[in-house]
Amino acid sequence: MHDTIYLASQSPRRRQLLDQLGVRHELLLPDDGEDAEALEAVLPGELPGPYVQRVTGLKLAAARARWKRRGLPERPLLAADTTVALGRRILGKPADAAEARAMLQALSGRTHRVLTAVALWTGRRTLAALSDSRVHVAPLPAAAIERYVASGEPFGKAGAYAIQGPFAGWISHIAGSHSGIMGLPLHETAEILRQARVSF
């Protein structure tokens, strides 16, 4: 049995969600020289499901190398990645205000998917899960998009929005995992943690 895991994520939301489950965790964050964002590059023609699972695997491998390099005690190691998909199109983190605006305009009045992949290395094997949710955004007036972009919240968020912020007022319907849309699907995560004999 393990009573603590490593979390390879800079997302405060994933920390909050693990806290919600009661899972004790330590952060295993990238070193200064590591380019964590480079792992998220999309390959030509890549579909959202395979993309988010591949990126999660890369994040896990990078964290395992980091763990080994630092000579840390062995504990289960958790990595995750979330992406927003409109049809076959992957909406990553917007590079600037124009891109954030364009993403929000594309999501306005439509249903999109939010996929979060989770992977846990136990020291002997890797356990993985994928959460696939559907989110319907009400039509967004141009002024609302401008206000939201000006708030700065779209930056650093896949699809240029966060469901736990003011944008929730524009989400009319969800089918799937609310915590998965936030960045860590609690049911799937709890399942693989139980398989790995993590106590919580």
**Residues assigned a catalytic role:** 81
Helices 97-107/142-151 angle, 10° precision: 140
Are 52 and 81 a contacting pair, CB within 8 Å?
yes
The Cα 7–Cα 79 span in angstroms is 6
Are 198 and 1 a contacting pair, CB within 8 Å?
yes
Are 104 and 160 a contacting pair, CB within 8 Å?
yes
* C-alpha neighbours within 13 Å on the C-beta side of residue 59: 28
Q: In 3-state terms, what secondary structure has residue 136?
A: strand
Closest CA to 188 of 2, 11, 21: 21
Q: How many residues does the chain have?
A: 200
